[in-house]
Structure 1
Amino acid sequence: MSEQGFSTRAVHAGYEPDPQTGAVNVPIYASSTFAQDGVGGMRGGFEYARTGNPTRQPLEANLAALESGTFGRAFGSGMAATDCVLRSLLRPGDHLVIPDDAYGGTFRLIDKVFTQWGIEYTPVAVSDVDAVRAAIRPSTKLVWVETPTNPLLNIGDIAATAEVAHSAGAKLLVDNTFASPYLQQPLALGADIALHSTTKYIGGHSDVVGGALVTSDEDLDAKFAFLQNGAGAVPGPFDAFLTMRGIKTLALRMERHSDNAEKIVDLLSGHSAIGQVTYPGLESHPGHVVAAKQMRRFGGMISVRLKGGKQAALDFCARTQIFTLAESLGGVESLIEHPGAMTHASTAGSALEVPEDLVRLSVGIEDATDLLADIEQALG
């Protein structure tokens, strides 16, 4: 049989109905340990839930299938997955390249923790392949790309960046959180690792925190598996169950997120209070051509800059009624936030500091007419 379609994989990959009960959904195995048939005689390969759990295992297989990879590893958060990669691949004296508008949590971990252990980093515009090439040193072991980036929605050319990284002997990681596996397939474009905060679009319901790493490189997976078990930042069985439940509707949700976002972009682009709209689907976006090449659609994230500066941005955030003022993104509900004071506060005073007039929208799956009316009244 030829490879199944995305939605079929999302619903079925990694799990067959339970042979004893016929349960069509993955059971929640709330057990910390598993009986053995004699010393070393594990049933189904399970001995201790930090090492492996029968609810987490199908999730990991499903994540690998969604990213068209071979190996999937689930973590207790996106930052736990980030930490696993950094500790697996970097040693004192090593260097990595990161986006110059990286997610604030990624920047904070690298800048405040890993630099204390002798790791060096260079922020660079991921949209500029030549700049990435120039930033690479002999000690560079990892090129870290977000595309679209958080929160400025810049676009990196995954295939071109993979060639640059590999020619220098470095690995390429793509944080695919904003796009989701439905909209973008980094491994198929040459990336070595796809990373997700599964808290976001993959889970999709703002009710579970998690992270994931997917690769087709057996040696990389062995390193991730060692730290996943050794450090123990794993999701519990209920978290794994909720994430699996969310995945089943990922394709449907991403289509609706994209539909709604496009309508909102049309409104914002012509609004007198808005100075700039950033969305990869706009032909005026500098990365539009690359995004159109490597993404199925352009997603549900929009960034805008207000003509009235910081106070206008804060007022916009305060006045919405359907868009909830909250951190995070990718859930079924629409969210609004001020990155400079919220998700990216850690970048203040650094090369990664975000504009104070910037507002980030995570467009949900509500009725578009209601979302448009909410924005109109909030900007009114």
Structure 2
Amino acid sequence: MHFDTLAIQAAHQSDPTGAIIPPIHLSTKFERDAETYEPVGGHMYSRASNPNRDAFEKALAQLEGGAVGMAFGSGQAATMTLFQALRPGDHVIVPRQAYFSTPLLLEQVFHPWGLTYTRVEMSDLDAVQAAIHENTRVIWTETPSNPLLTMTDLLLISQMAHEAGAIVVCDNTWATPVLQRPLDLNCDVVMHSTTKYLGGHSDVLGGALVFKDPNHELALRVRQIQQLGGAVPSPFDCWLLLRGIKTLGVRVRAQQATAQALAEFLDGHPSVEKVYYPGLDSHPQRALVKQQMNGPGAMLSFGVKGGTAEALRVCGHLKLFIRATSLGGTESLIEHRATVEGIHTNAPDNLLRVSVGLEHAEDLIADLDQALKKI
């Protein structure tokens, strides 16, 4: 099936009442049979399982081509649970360019607990190979990267990891399964901040992991921690995420088309120093983008000519872009990444990160143009 058909079919739940849109199951507990004392509907307690969460987990697994999905209360809860499923003394490789809180979680929470990690430039395969140790259990990838949209060759990284007895986790939040399916590229686990494109409307917080092998030791351990720890989304959150899945393909492709137009406009603007977008021919890994993805996505970054002051001045003069930190919603957002990340940032001081929404491309271009003329 084409993705849009798959999304509708995967997100649809049959209901005994015949309702096309399923109800939200708010009950925290479920009845047992009088004779067998088994749960009547397969559920016992909502921390362990819930009809809405089960439906969302199954739908996302289908979209990513995986065997089992697991939903969490946030993207960071999903990341944290995967790291927690490892053992003290295990080693993780993470990219230098990554969602800011991922290495922060390793440094502040798991390194004191006994997990070791190495940060590398994931586009440098020799550096990745050199960082693999005997105790390396996970290579964590994020592609395209945040915020410079660097690509990671998932096929080659997966080959290197598997030869060393490690697994590959791919943060696929920016690409979504519309544009990239890491499990088809030999990765073992896909991570999502479902807050972003999967929810799609900036009104639900969530995260998820999708495993290729449901019986892998790590998958079983993650499920155990999910059920025991209870860092799970509410039934309403899962209901909203299922709703978001239905329009995922349509939204992402429309946002991507606008992002391409914005990137091309910015690429020729006299006040712009550099544009970071995988859809431009000038992107240094354009061949890998075409090989690995179905499209370049709806995120872009650009550096204005100048520094922090000039970048913040552009933000201040924008009228349609909202100055906020997140991505994947219907509204276009812009942020000065270095300010958001603070003193530990690796982002250039003139860099602005853009999440392209569903506004008309011409209006967004006009807004950027008038703001850039004021620096």
**TM class by smaller structure:** over 0.9
1:363 equivalent in alignment to 2:356: yes
Cα distance in 1, alignment partners of residues 22 and 187 from structure 2? 30
| 1:80 is aligned to 2:77 | yes
User: TM-score under structure 2 normalisation?
Assistant: 0.96
Residue 156 (str. 1) matches residue 152 (str. 2): yes
What's 2:44 paired with?
Answer: 47
Q: 1:228 & 1:304 partners in 2: Cα distance?
A: 38
Q: Report the alpha carbon displacement of residue 27 of structure 1 after superposing the two structures with TM.
A: 1.5
Question: Could you tell me which amino acid in structure 1 is paired with residue 25 of structure 2?
Answer: Y
SS of the counterpart of 2:51? coil
- Equivalent in 188, 213, 217 of residue 217 of structure 1: 213
5 Å-filtered alignment, 1:161-172, equals 161-172=157-168
Matched-pair contact (CA < 8 Å) for 1:73–1:213: yes
Displacement of 1:221 after TM fit? 2.6
How many residue pairs are counted as aligned between the two chains?
370
Question: Aligned ranges for residues 1-380 of structure 1 at < 5 Å?
Answer: 4-13=1-10, 15-18=12-15, 20-38=16-34, 40-88=37-85, 90-218=86-214, 219=216, 220-342=218-340, 344-345=341-342, 348-349=343-344, 353-380=346-373
Kindly state the Cα deviation for residue 14 of structure 1 after the two structures are TM-superposed: 5.5
Aligned residue identity for 1:366: E
Give 1:16 shift. Answer: 3.6
% identical aligned pairs:
46
Q: Deviations over 1:57-110 (max 9, x none)?
A: 11000000000111011110000000011011x222221110101111112111
Tell me how far 1:157 sits from its aligned partner: 0.5
Task: Tell me the SS of whatever aligns to 1:340.
Answer: helix
1-structure distance, mates of 2:300, 2:11 = 33
Consecutive unaligned residues of structure 1, counting only runs of 5 or more, are: none
Deviation at 1:252, TM superposition (A): 0.4
For residues 354 and 43 of structure 1, what CA distance do their matches in structure 2 show?
Answer: 53
- State the Cα RMSD in Å: 1.2
Q: Deviations over 1:7-54 (max 9, x none)?
A: 122112164431x21111231001111111147410221010010001
Three-state SS of the structure 2 residue aligned to 1:73 is strand
Q: Which runs of 5 or more residues in structure 2 are unaligned?
A: none
Cα distance in 2 for residues equivalent to 1:271 and 1:205: 31
Counterpart of 1:98, as a letter, is V
Alpha-carbon distance in structure 1 between the residues aligned to 2:116 and 2:98: 16
Which amino acid in 2 is paired with 1:306? V
SS at the partner of 1:55?
Answer: helix
The question of whether the paired residues in 2 share the 8 Å contact of 1:34 and 1:48 is answered with yes
